[in-house]
Amino acid sequence: MSEAATAATPGTRAVDRAADLVSTVVRADAPMTFADLQEASGLAKSTTSRMLTALERSGLLERDAAGSYVAGSLFWLYAARHDPWEELVRLARPTMKAIGRETHETVHLSVARGDRAVQVAQVDSTYLLGTRDWTEVDVPAHCSALGKVLLAWGALDLPEVPLTRQTPATLTHPDRLRRDVDQARRRGWAITVDELEVGLTGVAVPIHGPRGDVVAALGISGPTPRLEGRLEELGRRLMERAAELSTLLRGRTPKEGVA
């Protein structure tokens, strides 16, 4: 072995050990404690501590509220730039279809983009009178149930200025909107009645990602006369389905694409 190769070996070994630590955390089904990682790696405590500190500085790993290690912000940044919704949609699709079978209404999945709620997936109503295809349509957050979820749970910032009026029922004053989304958060679901389009009602709930924050909104919409007497029933049904989906997403790591 050459002198150059011999000199490079310790550095390469350190990179391999650091990569193993990152891989162990990313592949784990739950956050890993320092003791878990030290045992899994077989490294000395001091070596494990130094490497984990360096990996935190680089954004490859970070610690959650309990002090355990999870994949770091670089994984989230990569997912957000390269595959923000594909995996989320894939995982949500069976839940959306189940809601469609149960309610017969149009089912929506939306995420925050800028100051808007953007729908990334839809399951159409089984009724002849349903709603349009909203996929990839930018919708003002203040006049959709999906947008109100993202406002209520902090995925979007609440506006401080008067808002665009879409219909006579649209909430345009920031204080009225704030009261409405506060009520939505207490209740567990958001509602719009004729606020985006006259004759259109929506109900939506939050979806929580691996970190516990809200990553999307799940909802249904349909003609106001058909939904107006069912809002509480639909809200509770959506909450049950959303809890199942959120549990599924928490079993995924940021590297697997849920951004």
Where are the chain's structural domains? 3-71, 80-256
Residue 203 neighbours by CB distance under 10 Å: 29
Which band of pLDDT confidence, cut at 50, 70 and 90, is reported for residue 102?
very high
9, exposed or middle or buried, with CB in 10 Å at 0-12, 13-18, 19+?
exposed
For residues 97 and 111, the answer to whether their CB atoms sit within 8 Å is no
**pLDDT attached to residue 257:** 42
**pLDDT attached to residue 185:** 96
**pLDDT attached to residue 203:** 97
Query: Would you say the pTM of this structure is higher than 0.75?
Result: no
**pLDDT attached to residue 3:** 41
Q: Measure the CA angle with vertex 160, ends 155 and 161; round to 5°.
A: 125
Q: What share of the chain is helix, strand, coil (3-state, %, to 5)?
A: 50, 20, 30
Dihedral class, residue 212 (left if φ above 0, else alpha if ψ from -120 to 50, else beta): left
Residue 141 has what DSSP assignment? G
**pLDDT attached to residue 254:** 41
Residue 30 neighbours by CB distance under 10 Å: 10
Q: What is the pLDDT of residues 115-167, one digit of tens each?
A: 778 888 999 988 766 566 666 566 789 999 999 999 999 999 998 888 889 99
- The Cα–Cα gap between 45 and 196 comes to 58
Q: What is the pLDDT averaged over residues 86-90?
A: 81
**pLDDT attached to residue 84:** 61
**pLDDT attached to residue 206:** 97
- The Cα–Cα gap between 17 and 54 comes to 12
Q: What is the pLDDT averaged over residues 30-51?
A: 92
Side chain identity at 85, as an amino acid letter? Answer: W
54-60 long-range CB contacts below 8 Å, 24 or more apart? 54/18, 55/18, 55/21, 55/22, 60/22
Q: Domain 80-256 has what CATH class?
A: alpha beta
**pLDDT attached to residue 117:** 82
Q: What is the pLDDT averaged over residues 32-49?
A: 92
Q: What is the pLDDT of residues 178-224, one digit of tens each?
A: 999 999 999 999 999 999 999 999 999 999 987 788 999 999 999 99
Whether 256 shows a pLDDT value over 60: the answer reads no
Which band of pLDDT confidence, cut at 50, 70 and 90, is reported for residue 75?
confident
**pLDDT attached to residue 28:** 86
**pLDDT attached to residue 181:** 96
Share of the chain above pLDDT 70, in %: 85
Angle between helices 34-41 and 3-27 (to 10 degrees): 130
Side chain identity at 210, as an amino acid letter? Answer: P
Alpha helices in the chain (DSSP H): 3-27, 34-41, 45-58, 73-82, 86-103, 145-152, 174-187, 224-227, 231-250
In the chain, what is the greatest distance between 2 CA atoms, to the nearest angstrom?
Answer: 81
CA 150 to chain centre: 10
**pLDDT attached to residue 87:** 76
Residue 161 neighbours by CB distance under 10 Å: 7
Architecture per CATH, domain 3-71, reads as Orthogonal Bundle (1.10)
